[in-house]
Amino acid sequence: MSKNLSLNECAARLGTSRGFVDTMVSKGRLHPDEQNQVAITEIDELAALLKKLRGNGIAAMVDALDQSL
């Protein structure tokens, strides 16, 4: 059984704002359960994608998107 995290904990784990997490939920990238929690495996998959984007020189775009949310 995988551990689930609240949306605030999800933001902390991703190193993003809560607004960014809410956007990822509304876009269907993250899928909270009935208790409004997300599986840690799903969070880690998104974290890997963000790390890859940041590592490829797209950090400014990712940071700008996060700050605008």
Q: What's the confidence (pLDDT) of residue 50? A: 83
Residue 6: the pLDDT is 97
Number of domains in the chain: 1
Q: Average pLDDT, stretch 19-43?
A: 94
Rounded CA-CA distance 16/23 in Å is 11
CATH of the domain at 27: 1.10.1660
Given a contact cutoff of 8 angstroms between Cβ atoms, the answer to whether 21 and 27 are in contact is no
Q: Is the pLDDT of residue 32 over 70?
A: yes
DSSP string, 1-42: ---EEEHHHHHHHHTS-HHHHHHHHHTTSS---TTSEEEHHH
Q: Where are the beta strands (DSSP E) in 1-69?
A: 4-6, 37-39
Report the predicted TM-score, pTM, of the whole model to 2 decimal places. 0.75
pLDDT at residue number 20: 92
Average pLDDT over residues 1-29: 91
Look up the domain containing 16 and give its range.
Answer: 4-68
Residue 25 has pLDDT above 90, yes or no: yes
